[in-house]
Structure 1
Amino acid sequence: MSDSPGLGHLWAGWRNEYVSSVAGGSPPQSEHECVFCRILASGEPDEVTYVLWRGRFCVAVLNAYPYNSGHLMVMPLRHIGDLESLEPDESAELWQAVTTGVRALKAAYAPGGVNVGANLGRAAGAGVPDHLHVHCLPRWGGDTNFVTTLAEIRVLPESLPATWERLRAAWPRSDRDC
């Protein structure tokens, strides 16, 4: 039951389990405990870690637990949690990569719209609050349908490897390797 008419609660407990498990049961405190920093330092190939693009200061990756097919994130390489901690070059590259990511999403998926946003801090909903990241999420009319509403599950029509291939191909070649 909701507290107000027309407003319900959305629970995504699986996110907390994932975030807690990669940080040893506690919120990330350092770059050594941060899931994003560990992925970037892993040495694994981009198609394994779902890195779409690497720049001088930032990187674009697929969300391992996407809300929709194509859900990507852009983040600085540097382990910082605050937007205002970005250096000017980092900020410029981050927002350029967000713009490029939106273009790639539109080219690859032809969505009806795109959500772009960042949850700054745990109280704002950040699952990984200590490493700034901007979500780019393609949306379609009706993408939150009866299955999501009634069964509390989300149907994703595409696997992460297929999404990686699709978006990697749509990412402009001139922007792939900075």
Structure 2
Amino acid sequence: MKKIWAPWRMEYILHVDDSVKCIFCEKKQYVLKETQHAMVMLNLFPYNPGHLMVAPKRHVANLEDLTDEELKEIMALTQKSVKVLKEIANPDGFNIGINIGRVAGAGFEGHIHIHVVPRWNGDTNFMPIIGETKVIPEGIEKTFKKLKPYFE
């Protein structure tokens, strides 16, 4: 079995800025699209360019507490995110997942969200493992400007 190591991620998980109660409720930076019950936004600490997060607008931690309307809109925005990223970035695949609870890797455990991470062959190499450095070849502003029109 192969393993994927992301040592830089643990520092982020352990040192989340506690002065920010919830990035989904308070900051709302780089929001690409909002619907009545959900939103999609860029991740400020991306694994790769185009790393998106889809979340309900309501502050809710647990999957089972989402309403049917929230679930429907979250999944529709997740699907839209994949379509847009395929069109713009042509990734070889995706990681799509939910981290529930800090122990599972949730940086903001009080607000459930889905990660949509585009992946390319060769996007993980020696830099993050040996050099403890993740290379993100595109700035977040550029990524935001590129993606925003596709969500309007």
Alignment TM-score > 0.5, same fold: yes
**Higher relative CO (CA 8 A, sep ≥ 6), structure 1 or 2?**
2
Distance 2:111 2:144 in 1: 22
The alpha carbon displacement at 1:69 in A equals 0.4
TM, length-normalised to structure 1: 0.78
Aligned to 2:110: 130
Percent identity between the two aligned chains: 37
Correspondence 1:15 to 2:12: yes
Q: Which runs of 5+ in 2 are unaligned?
A: none
CA deviation profile, 1:59-78 (whole Å, cap 9, x unmatched) = 10000000000000000000
Number of residues of Structure 1 aligned to a counterpart in Structure 2: 151
CA deviation profile, 1:121-144 (whole Å, cap 9, x unmatched) = 122211111101100000011100
Aligned to 2:35: 55
Bigger Cα Rg? 1
Task: Tell me the C-alpha RMSD between the 2 structures.
Answer: 1.9
1:39 to 7, 24, 27: 27
Is the 1:105–1:170 Cα contact (8 Å) retained in structure 2?
Answer: no
The alpha carbon displacement at 1:9 in A equals 5.3
TM, length-normalised to structure 2: 0.91
Question: Structure 1 segments of 4 or more deviating over 6 A?
Answer: none
Q: Which runs of 5+ in 1 are unaligned?
A: 41-48
Give the stretch that moved more between structures: 115-124 or 104-113. 115-124
CA distance 1:167–1:6, change in 2 (3 Å): closer
Distance 1:138 1:123 in 2: 24
